[in-house]
Amino acid sequence: MRHSVYVLNATALTKPNASDHLVADIHGSHTDVSIITETHLKQKHTSRVFDIDGYNMYKRDRIKWHGGGVAIYVNNHLRSSLWKPPSDQLNFELLWVRVQSAEFDAIIGAIYHPPKPIYPVTDLLCYTESCLGTTARDGRLQWFK
């Protein structure tokens, strides 16, 4: 069975009608996993406002500054859960979700790297590599191809 991934830089799901457009795109393309960057969601935005029927939503909000944020929507016909690396770093807008079916077991990542980050780029690369190394040690996991 083929699985599909949809990727979008939303530049604010909080804009008027933006979440309606996202729902139409996701339902219209029948995606299994949708990765949304630059959601502009904060802790004050409850997930149920941005829920999409038939999908589980996972989000990572930007802390303190405006903009940023990432979300992953996973179709309900797949099993999914939040995956946190052993040393989760709050400076990075990097969200990991474990997605499983009878055919595969994968970790899907959503990342937003802002134009003017508050961290050295090499720190983000090292952290991402560390996370990928953690998933690679579990032989059951595989990546979407």
- E strand or H helix at 75: strand 70-75
User: What's the rounded Cα separation, in Å, for the pair 57 and 137?
Assistant: 27
Q: What is residue 54's three-state secondary structure?
A: coil
CATH number at 46 reads 3.60.10.10
Q: What integer is the mean pLDDT of 26-54?
A: 82
**Would residue 94 count as lying in a domain?**
yes
Q: What is the pLDDT of residue 144?
A: 42
pLDDT in tens, 77-90: 999 999 888 788 87
User: What's the rounded Cα separation, in Å, for the pair 60 and 74?
Assistant: 15
Domain range for 124: 5-136
**Would residue 30 count as lying in a domain?**
yes
- E strand or H helix at 135: helix 121-136
**Would residue 62 count as lying in a domain?**
yes
Number of domains in the chain: 1
Q: What is the pLDDT of residue 46?
A: 65
Give the mean pLDDT of the chain: 83
